[in-house]
Amino acid sequence: MFARHWLLSVFFFLLVQTSFSQTTNRYTIIPRPARLDPRAGQFLISRTTTLLIPPGQADLKAVADTFARQLNRATGVALTVRVSNRMAVPGNIIQFIPARDTALGTEGYRIDITDNLVTVEAARANGFYYAVQTLRQLLPPTALAPTRTLPDSGLTTLAVPACRIEDRPRYVYRGLHLDVSRHFFPVSFIKQYIDLMALHKINTFHWHLTDDQGWRIEIKKYPKLTQIGANRRETLVGHYDEFDPQVFDGKPYGGFYTQDEVREVVRYATSRFVTVVPEIEMPGHALAALSAYPELACAPGPYSAATKWGVFDDVFCPTEKTFSFLQDVLTEVMGLFPGKYIHIGGDECPKVAWKNSAFCQQLMKREGLKDENELQSYFIRRIDKFVTGKGRRIIGWDEILEGGLSPNATVMSWRGTKGGLEAARQKHDVVMTPGGFCYFDHYQGDPAQEPTGFGGSLPLSQVYSYNPTPAELSPADAKHILGVQGNIWTEYIPDVNQLQYMIWPRAAALAEVAWSPLEGKNYDEFSRRVPSLFDRLAVMNVNYARAVYDAVPVSRAVAGGRVAVSIRPGKRMDNVTDIRYTIDGSIPSAESPVLVDSVLLDKTATVRTAAFAGRKPLSQLAKVQKEFIVSKATGRTYTLQYPATSGRPDKNGSLTDGNTAGMGGYEVAGVVSFAGDFGTTVDLGQSQPVQGVRVGFLKYTAKNFCLPKQIEVSVSDDGQTFRPAVTVKTNALENGKRDMVRLPIDFAQTSARYVRIVARSIGTVPAGMRNPGKSAQLGVDEVEVR
């Protein structure tokens, strides 16, 4: 009997999978519903359509009123909302019916759409709300516009494809985070952020309000938190190690939310069934607070809000004055945020100040704490006891596990999955948010082509692939995995445009991870819904990344000293029909040639590429470009006089393959590194005229990559006897902005088959740089012979 039931279940699942994939273009809903049965036909919404609400359902009527207002604002199709029984209202109807069964849970819903009737069922108001979000995504994208885009005569009906949907979420916690401490974002943007979350059935907004770089929430009892702590004197320019020495913009930066603004955001979110979880960082990431109230630190100060990023040693000191301060702050915070969770951070708390504090050492002895990790646990338990006493629950990053954890605490696992596994096995509730799948400040495409990100790679497909419930957990422990959250840290995200670019479409992929059944996930099928997502975002004036369509060019050396440029291997989106390219510096257009296999270069050129669907560009046209180098050394064999380091080894003749290095965040791709001198002998295959070389060297002095102090070039006809061509001094003291410096070395024309290049390391990093006295390295990318 069991086997038969299992086979029927598998057959039904495959049938639903097939029917859904065959009709993806009609039903472009994200996140994908648990079950969708397609039908022929469509329901037409017009000015005669009535939204029918049963009596005594105030919350449901509010949902219907919001839907009607949104459609009217976007399209001019003004719907009537009536509280009545259906028999009393003839005509074109969308009826909302409270479900009598419990199968849908608190957030599930059913929608039945025919040519003349739409029936929506749910047990609770939030279920009806999510049903409406599904209806909005079934409508044309224009129905989501924030303002009217068509004249009165331009649109009279809106078509909704017929189908039957039964849907409910996989996880109860579906979160999206926003750091407003590093960079501040106005209330108007926060509301749009919440709108987009709600449209994709994300139900928790984690608002990171305090950190070293700024305190962003008004606390009435402690006005200096916003008078002083909300402001920093300047901000780091570029990536953390991009300049040596670091460069700052010299511009004061600040901003905070008044309590009235916080209440406004919370009301707005509540109306969209989004719970706001505030984060007040402790005991670390406290510099902004200490700048306002230095007496809360272990040392006298003074302190100031951080002007750059990272982790700082100055943290809250666990004195009674500090606990009184934090309890006062949290009391005001709990008065503003009605949700059950208060996030207290708990991450990245250095113990240096505590180790050096006589008070802390005496406290540890008095409380029987064996080390500073247990002191952090003591700190967290004190706060947990206070918050629990107010009827709330704390949630914190997985470091709160260190030294033991209060049984009431919920853990956010961000340092991979280990913390989540450990917490679930200890019977703590867990929200999974590992950096490798959920950190949207990481790059989503080729770092060399992307806006500045923190570092690391997180393409759309990787987000979508995530399963928040680790297979290692027992069924009993797996019940403690509440859900999943995407995080966006804003160190390198100064404005709304870039923030939206980093979030979308990855947040949509995570929304499907959080909502849709695991067995129904299919990235190929999801990718076919992405173009409709882009259409909706464009109508809503939301920026988004098209990195998923980027055709990144790479090269290989081929016979005849030429370079063959092709597209980096990887999974392409289904709707890409052509990759078009240019080599003259112009932006690719529908008239540009199609890159079928590869394009052969016989001279140095910058190749630009773009993905098209027919004549329609899919990728950002001006974005992807890369220089490829062709010289007499291209494709030629060479030997190294000194071994490359294991960290950046030489791979497959990478110094003469025509491929230049790329940079992004902390990464530098395509560079071969040497712990001391660099030396190579290139075999040109036959004697021929030569008159110079050019070598690309990495200048990244913050990471100990210095330019060479001297370059020696010699030539030979037989590979045995070499004659000097030129020796030149170079500027190994140059620092400043990180760069690939292509040093040209000219000499009198001569004939040779072998060219030897030796670059002498300066040995140690010079004074005046980030790490003076450390061993200097040489980084090399491409060797040219002219």
In a domain, 692, yes or no: yes
Q: How far apart are CA 495 and CA 212, in angstroms?
A: 19
Choose one of 139, 167, 195: the last residue of a domain. Answer: 167
First to last CA, the chain: 78
Judgement on whether residues 556 and 464 belong to the same structural domain of the protein: no
In a domain, 5, yes or no: no
Tracing tokens 């700190």 back to the chain, one arrives at 379
Judgement on whether residues 310 and 372 belong to the same structural domain of the protein: yes
Q: How far apart are CA 17 and CA 174, in angstroms?
A: 24
Q: How far apart are CA 277 and CA 178, in angstroms?
A: 11
How is 50-95 classified by DSSP, letter by letter?
A: EEEE-TT-HHHHHHHHHHHHHHHHHH----EEEES-GGGS-SSEEE
Q: How far apart are CA 302 and CA 315, in angstroms?
A: 13
Rounded mean pLDDT of 194-217?
98
101 pLDDT tier (thresholds 50, 70, 90): confident
pTM of the entire predicted model: 0.94
Q: Can you say whether the dihedral through the CA atoms of 471, 472, 475, 479 is positive or negative? A: negative
585 pLDDT tier (thresholds 50, 70, 90): confident
Tracing tokens 């930066």 back to the chain, one arrives at 253
Instruction: List the one residue out of 92, 112, 94 whose CA is nearest residue 37.
Output: 112
> How far does CA 779 lie from the centroid of its chain?
29
Question: Catalytic: which of 234, 261, 264, 348?
Answer: 348
Asked whether residue 464 carries a pLDDT value surpassing 90, the answer given is yes
If one counts every other C-beta atom within 10 angstroms of the C-beta of residue 486, the result is: 27
pLDDT at 24: 59
Cβ-contact 440, 487 below 8 angstroms:
yes
Cβ-contact 562, 657 below 8 angstroms:
no
Rounded mean pLDDT of 399-404?
81
779 pLDDT tier (thresholds 50, 70, 90): very high
Judgement on whether residues 385 and 306 belong to the same structural domain of the protein: yes
Give the domain range for residue 35.
Answer: 19-167
Joined tokens for residue 264? 């406004």
Q: How far apart are CA 782 and CA 133, in angstroms?
A: 53
In a domain, 213, yes or no: yes
Cβ partners under 8 Å of residue 335, min gap 6? none
Judgement on whether residues 88 and 109 belong to the same structural domain of the protein: yes
Q: At what angle do helices 125-138 and 58-75 cross, to 10 degrees?
A: 20
Judgement on whether residues 313 and 428 belong to the same structural domain of the protein: yes
Asked whether residue 21 carries a pLDDT value surpassing 50, the answer given is no
Query: What CATH number does the domain containing 662 carry?
Result: 2.60.120.260
In a domain, 173, yes or no: no
Q: How far apart are CA 372 and CA 370, in angstroms?
A: 7
pLDDT at 149: 67
Judgement on whether residues 278 and 424 belong to the same structural domain of the protein: yes
> Has 591 been annotated as catalytic?
no
In a domain, 394, yes or no: yes
Choose one of 628, 660, 675: the last residue of a domain. Answer: 628
In a domain, 678, yes or no: yes
Mean of per-residue pLDDT scores for the chain: 93
The strand pairing partners of 530, in sequence order, are none
Tracing tokens 């291997």 back to the chain, one arrives at 569
Rounded mean pLDDT of 605-612?
95
Rounded mean pLDDT of 195-211?
98
Residue range 754-771, pLDDT digits in tens: 999 999 999 999 999 999
Q: How far apart are CA 219 and CA 217, in angstroms?
A: 6
Choose one of 135, 167, 199: the last residue of a domain. Answer: 167
Q: CA-CA distances (angstroms) from residue 580 to 392, 577, 586, 590, 598? A: 57, 10, 12, 8, 11
- What value, to the nearest 5°, has the Cα angle with vertex 310 and ends 304 and 314? 45
In a domain, 520, yes or no: no
Q: How far apart are CA 145 and CA 439, in angstroms?
A: 28
Domain count across the chain: 4
